[in-house]
Amino acid sequence: MKVRIRRFDGQKEWWQDYEIDAKPSDTVLDILNRIREKHDHTLAFRQSCQMGSCGSCGMVINGLPALACQTRIGELKTESIRLEPLYNYKVIKDLVVDLTDFVNKHRSVKPWMIRKNPEELEEASMEFQVTPDQNLTFVQFDYCIMCGVCLAACPTVAIDPLFLGPQALGQAYRYIADPRDEGFEERIEVLDDSHGVWRCHFAGACSYVCPKGVDPAKAIQYLKKEILKYRLLHKKKASVKPAELVQKAPPANAPKPPPFDFKIEGGE
């Protein structure tokens, strides 16, 4: 198995080739670890969970951005692998890229729960009442692991460095669609901007490469619909209230632990 990696050491860039043996059930991350441990200690790449839930190992494999720990050699169907750092990011060393812009763009859309009465976020005597169907309207977009692979695939991000990117916009929609959130007006200025939602022209590449099925393209088109509805018709989604407090006595046949051997203060 031939592996060709794009190297960068701060001054010069070059392609380096390695020869490594690999089974079809190995992942690209296994191969990278094997290269680092046996052939070249100076190779730098990020990894953490090795099972596709942390998002550290995003890189471009044979031209498509993907997570290295989820890509098996067998499904690549080739005799040689080409690894590059993610497109549209600044490269720090080898396959490690700079995610500061990515994090800042995410933060600028205010991706947290906003309620009109901020006290409701501080106390918690009862939960909000959200039915399973309401859950479905936004939970898909909450699967985002912030790996940055979508920004590598997006053509608009390649042209415009100030574009918010599918990840930030997807997360803005996740909170706007959440029935518990009431912060649409606070976020709309950042979104309804020339570098916000309107730069996206639905290339769909972000959804195509997303490793967790978040479908940010869908989120952004829905977001455009919400913004148009708000600006033209002044209508927006309703929000839910907390559930009612239930004060019933426990049933008679409830399971009980053995009686206490000692006296405890403040026991019930």
Minimum distance, C-beta of residue 18 to other proteins, in the bound complex (Å): 15
Nearest-angstrom CA–CA distance, 178 and 238: 10
Minimum distance, C-beta of residue 253 to other proteins, in the bound complex (Å): 8
Task: Count the neighbouring beta carbons within 10 Å of the beta carbon of residue 153.
Answer: 24
Measured from the CB atom, the residue of 17 and 266 that comes closer to other proteins is 266
Measured from the CB atom, the residue of 144 and 190 that comes closer to other proteins is 144
Measured from the CB atom, the residue of 52 and 196 that comes closer to other proteins is 52
Q: Positive or negative CA dihedral for 161, 167, 168, 173?
A: positive
The angle at the Cα of 184, spanning 220 to 172, to the nearest 5 degrees, equals 35
Minimum distance, C-beta of residue 124 to other proteins, in the bound complex (Å): 4
Nearest-angstrom CA–CA distance, 24 and 9: 31
For residue 120, the number of C-alpha atoms closer than 13 Å in the C-beta half-sphere is: 15
For residue 210, the number of C-alpha atoms closer than 13 Å in the C-beta half-sphere is: 23
User: Is residue 107 helix, strand or coil?
Assistant: helix
Cβ-Cβ contacts under 8 Å for 72 (sequence gap 6 or more): 24, 25, 26, 27
Minimum distance, C-beta of residue 2 to other proteins, in the bound complex (Å): 19
Minimum distance, C-beta of residue 262 to other proteins, in the bound complex (Å): 6
Measured from the CB atom, the residue of 122 and 189 that comes closer to other proteins is 122
Minimum distance, C-beta of residue 186 to other proteins, in the bound complex (Å): 11
The DSSP-derived string for 161-228 is TTS-HHHHHHHHHHHHHSTT---HHHHHHHHSSTTTGGG-----HHHHH-TT---HHHHHHHHHHHHH
Minimum distance, C-beta of residue 193 to other proteins, in the bound complex (Å): 16
For residue 241, the number of C-alpha atoms closer than 13 Å in the C-beta half-sphere is: 3
Measured from the CB atom, the residue of 15 and 121 that comes closer to other proteins is 121
Measured from the CB atom, the residue of 3 and 175 that comes closer to other proteins is 175
Measured from the CB atom, the residue of 1 and 70 that comes closer to other proteins is 70
**Strands 2-8 vs 80-84: parallel, antiparallel or unpaired:** parallel
